[in-house]
Structure 1
Amino acid sequence: MSYDEELFEDGDLPLYIKTEHIAEHDVHSDLAHWHDRIEIIVINRGSVICQVNSEAFPLHTGDVCFINHRQLHHLRAGDESECCHDVLIVGTDLLTRNSRIFERCISPILDDADFSHVRFEGTGGPAAEIAALVGRIKHLRTLEDPGYELEIVADVHRIFRQLLLAHASMHVVAPTDANARVLQRMTDYIRDHYDGPISLDDIARAGGVSRSQCTKLFKRYAATSPVAFVNRYRLEQSRVLLRSSSTSVAEVASRSGFADQSYFNRLFSRAYGITPLSYRKGV
């Protein structure tokens, strides 16, 4: 599933940057998702497991990971109890409008379906340079001095230079994964229909696979079952409604796809350790 346009606070600057903790599930839930933007993850402290398509790998303090657009990915807790990381998500329309430079320096990365991600290890070399640029972008975003947008655009292109060098010097990470595309279609179906009844047959049909293959793909790529994935996505939508509206908890449950409020309350409390009403009150 893809992020909504509301991810970008400023439509003129298609960029999201924030420090997150894996336990908080702020934007990075443990649900597999994809979007039409590029993403940079910088690990400030701790460790996390990052999965891109079918490949799962650890990221530790100082590591940086680039995830190309339209690649299925998600984060989950690593060996340590907490992970603090910066997330930079950039809309591709922020990149250079010069057609020759775009064709020579940007398109080779964006158009390479096999170039799904790059992991830069350690606290030196490209990892350190990209981490410093991400930190600078975050600082500029908070200051918003006159012309800060120009500085941010320049730093994003400096990051892309490191990605271009990596793309030119390394073998592709993995061949194009057709099964990942199948799961994208199934998660898109869930995103579009979560507020109504969804059966395993419906999800499998959206991907053009059997029920058993559907279950296997969710286990392999999303580390969960199709039903658990649907419930978790519905819960995340309910959190948005609880905080952004005065709608009753019963109505929130219904609009999030739960026909039974008691069942919704149990799942919500189990997932977040708090009741829906207490969550709304900020307890």
Structure 2
Amino acid sequence: MQIKDFKVDQSLKELTEHRTVVLPIACYETTINQNINGYIPLHWHDEFQFVLVVKGEAIFQINEENIMVQAGEGLFINSGCLHMAKEKNDSGCAYICLNVSPSFVLSQELYSAFVNPYLKATNLPYLYLDSKELWANNILSTIMKINQLIKEYPPYYEIDISLYLTLIWKNLIMNGIPLEYEQTEVLKSARMKQMLNWIHLHYAEKILLDDIARAGQLSRSECCRYFKRILKKTPLNYVMDYRIQKSLILLQQPDSNVTDVAYQVGFNSTSYFIDKFRKLMNMTPLAYKKIKIMDRL
């Protein structure tokens, strides 16, 4: 099942409950361009995430880094890390996404020694899974097996999945990456999430750079450095893009009109909203609305 409209709270934490009926996991296939935004927007979650690209190629941004992943390759994304994905070269990129609660990876007796250190490590926002590496290929092939089990629901599949997750985690830690713990990195992540949280609470209001900087307990210049380093844009440009992102859902409502939507998401000029929307989406808000109405027919 594809999640086309990511629900996130004000801090960008994804609200989707990642679990099957019994297990605290979710495994589903995602086609990037079918998302309501045309890409997978910035978000984070408590679960570990394993990605296996099965078609095309994509650029994943994880915290400050961009990583290109092609068909047959994958990623491990650590808990709490901001990430997003865009397809590359209109490749129709699709991937299998496996989200797992850290507490379910290994038994409680093994968690402290073999899971928690990786969860807390500040130098492990992600691992690139190259199918040419034995340990990574083992993880990628096991993701496929779990995906198949969830589709078919054979007897005792929950036990099989539990065993496969143990194998995935064993292969991951066999990679041998030395773990580091930098308190400054923890603080940076917390401040970034505080600023994003403030924007998502107040996006419909007038927002000044001072307001955003204050939310992160930073100076104006340091606030701008955070956004440019992590999001590759200025704080106010992020506000603009987020407002347009929020407008996409409103425009799909049958009784909505462009002017009302513009004001609801924080623009004080319809023409300015239309101009910014066109630059980001390559079409006007009205054209977008008409396309979505036709898609439903």
Which TM-score band applies after superposition, normalised by the shorter structure? 0.7 to 0.9
What corresponds to 2:66 in structure 1? 56
Q: Which 10-residue stretch deviates more, 67-76 or 249-258?
A: 249-258
What corresponds to 2:277 in structure 1? 268
What corresponds to 2:43 in structure 1? 33
Deviation at 1:251, TM superposition (A): 4.4
Is contact 2:43–2:82 with CA below 8 Å preserved after alignment? yes
What corresponds to 1:6 in structure 2? 16
Amino acid at match of 1:89: N
Is contact 2:129–2:140 with CA below 8 Å preserved after alignment? no
* Ranges in structure 2 where 5+ consecutive residues have no aligned partner: 1-10
Deviation at 1:76, TM superposition (A): 4.2
In the aligned structure 2, how far is the partner of 1:143 from the partner of 1:89?
18
What corresponds to 1:281 in structure 2? 293
Amino acid at match of 2:293: K
Q: Which 10-residue stretch deviates more, 54-63 or 207-216?
A: 54-63
* Ranges in structure 1 where 5+ consecutive residues have no aligned partner: none
Give yes or no for the alignment of 1:122 onto 2:127.
Answer: no
What corresponds to 1:201 in structure 2? 210
CA displacement, residues 95-120 of structure 1 (integer Å, 9 cap, x when unaligned): 44x42122233222223233322122
Deviation at 1:198, TM superposition (A): 2.2
Give yes or no for the alignment of 1:44 onto 2:51.
Answer: no
Correspondence 1:158-237 to 2 at 5 A: 158-166=167-175, 169-172=176-179, 177=185, 178-237=187-246
In the aligned structure 1, how far is the partner of 2:156 from the partner of 2:276?
47
Deviation at 1:51, TM superposition (A): 3.3
Give yes or no for the alignment of 1:248 onto 2:260.
Answer: no
Q: How many residues align?
A: 278
Q: Which residue, out of 72, 77, 88, partners 2:82?
A: 72
What corresponds to 2:164 in structure 1? 155
Deviation at 1:66, TM superposition (A): 0.9
Is contact 2:121–2:179 with CA below 8 Å preserved after alignment? no
3-state SS of the aligned residue for 2:141?
A: helix
Is contact 1:204–1:211 with CA below 8 Å preserved after alignment? yes
Structure 1 residues 201 and 129, CA, compared in 2 at 3 Å: closer, same or farther? same
Is contact 1:31–1:229 with CA below 8 Å preserved after alignment? no
Is contact 1:65–1:118 with CA below 8 Å preserved after alignment? yes
Deviation at 1:37, TM superposition (A): 1.8
Is contact 2:120–2:181 with CA below 8 Å preserved after alignment? no
Provide the TM-score with structure 2 as the length reference.
0.77
What corresponds to 2:3 in structure 1? none
Provide the TM-score with structure 1 as the length reference.
0.80
Is contact 2:130–2:137 with CA below 8 Å preserved after alignment? no
Structure 1 residues 4 and 55, CA, compared in 2 at 3 Å: closer, same or farther? closer
Deviation at 1:165, TM superposition (A): 2.1
Structure 1 residues 263 and 17, CA, compared in 2 at 3 Å: closer, same or farther? farther
In the aligned structure 2, how far is the partner of 1:70 from the partner of 1:202?
24
Deviation at 1:187, TM superposition (A): 1.4
3-state SS of the aligned residue for 1:51?
A: strand
Structure 1 residues 117 and 267, CA, compared in 2 at 3 Å: closer, same or farther? same
In the aligned structure 2, how far is the partner of 1:148 from the partner of 1:253?
49
In the aligned structure 1, how far is the partner of 2:38 from the partner of 2:120?
25
Correspondence 1:15-26 to 2 at 5 A: 15-25=25-35
Structure 1 residues 234 and 148, CA, compared in 2 at 3 Å: closer, same or farther? farther
What corresponds to 1:101 in structure 2? 110
Is contact 1:204–1:214 with CA below 8 Å preserved after alignment? yes
CA RMSD of aligned residues (A): 3.2
3-state SS of the aligned residue for 1:223?
A: coil
Give yes or no for the alignment of 1:134 onto 2:143.
Answer: yes
In the aligned structure 2, how far is the partner of 1:251 from the partner of 1:8?
34
